[in-house]
Amino acid sequence: GKGTYPYYMLKEIDEQPSVMRKLVSTYTDQEGKVTVATDIVKAVQAADRIYIIAAGTSLHAGYASKQILEELTNTPVELGLASEWGYGMPLLSEKPLFIFLSQSGETADSRQVLVKVNELGHPSLTVTNVPGSTLSREATYTMLIGAGPEISVASTKAYTGQIATLAFLAKAVGDADQNPKALDFDLVKEISLVAQSIESTLSEKEMISDLVAKLLPEARNAFYIGRKQDYFVSMEASLKLKEISYIQCEGFAAGELKHGTISLIENGTPVIALISNNEEVAAHTRGNVMETVARGASAITIVEEAVAREDDDIVINNVHPYLSAISMVVPTQLIAYYATVQRGLDVDKPRNLAKAVTVE
Ligand code: M6R
């Protein structure tokens, strides 16, 4: 049940630090070394390219995981929108490994791709929250997120759990390959810093709720902007906001705005900028924020401490850049949540949507 929580979504947001810690115990051995099933590690080592297939929030988790997977496993990663790939595969590499990311393990769009992958005889790995789900049974391998049941239609802890699970995979493969980047990366320590960073964001709920009450009460549309990892988080943040609050929202690569979309900015248009710890990127995104403010936008910033300034709105603890999507997304989940509560809408059951999308 949801206990004392008004909605499952808030409970599931709050569970994220413990999901992170549980993943550490699932994917480490008694000596604290990261371990993933040998078969799975070998399957990644044998692949010349990884194709991540998913929909919605799970696809966004795939984007956020691309960098760590590529750098630690030395294997190119391509993302595929499940609903499009069902019509036929693009030109594949010689030794592909398919990773299906799915909270429910039941998404029909992803399954139709898996059926084709199995016909072609390629290996596959399902990363899911539901043991025994269809995508888990039909794929060659499974890794579990172990986030506990996710009831709210808006996915939160599955997103952060998927990124962390793929980080364990990347680290296990990188260690096995003796990749210096992997050997230098203490994932267990970094995940515990992520858990602490999330906890500190969760202690700011009231402030975030007040900020939302100022920024979004009248809004019919809004923008999230960011670059690099923050761009991927912008896409997820915007899906979350529109899915439950019905505010039309776009997640945009900050530098791309000026190529057309900035014409939508008018007086009072809410713009939320995500700025994680990379000085060059931070400076560029801040420049883009100024461009929107100059056209009347009401902008707020969500910034990692190391690059924060006094006038930033939400400041979050630094984490390793490989994992910044996990901690950066949390304030955006809370923004979506409070915007929806403040509109008097049912957070857990947005109109027109089901938890698992089992039709193509
Ligand atoms: O169960 P899956 O992860 O395969 O679901 C994929 C999407 O339908 C899902 O993430 C959807 O986008 C969420 N409702 C977003 O919050």
**Spatial strand order in the sheet of 96-102:** 77-81, 49-54, 96-102, 124-128, 141-144
Residue 263 to residue 156: CA distance in whole angstroms: 31
Q: pTM of this prediction?
A: 0.98
Q: Which atom of ligand 1 is nearest to the CA of 240?
A: 16
Ligand 1 cavity residues, CB under 6 Å? 55-58, 102-104, 107, 110, 153-155, 239, 243, 356-357
Contacts of 270 (CB under 8 A, 6+ apart): 215, 216, 219, 221, 222, 223, 297, 298, 299, 300
Distance 224 CA to ligand 1 centre (A): 20
347: which 2 tokens?
């957070």
Contacts of 132 (CB under 8 A, 6+ apart): none
Residue 356: pLDDT band with limits 50, 70, 90: confident
Distance 236 CA to ligand 1 centre (A): 11
Contacts of 346 (CB under 8 A, 6+ apart): none
Catalytic residues, by residue number, are 355
Distance 237 CA to ligand 1 centre (A): 13
Residue 260 to residue 133: CA distance in whole angstroms: 42
146: which 2 tokens?
């172990």
Q: How many CA atoms lie within 13 A of 209 on its CB side?
A: 12
Residue 273: pLDDT band with limits 50, 70, 90: very high
Mean pLDDT, the chain, integer: 97
CA-closest candidate to residue 128, choices 172, 182, 165, 94: 165
The pLDDT of residue 309 = 97
Residue 355: pLDDT band with limits 50, 70, 90: confident
66: which 2 tokens?
């691309």
Q: Whose CA is nearest to atom 4 of ligand 1?
A: 102
Ligand 1, from 83, 155, 163: best to mutate by most atoms within 8 Å of Cβ? 155
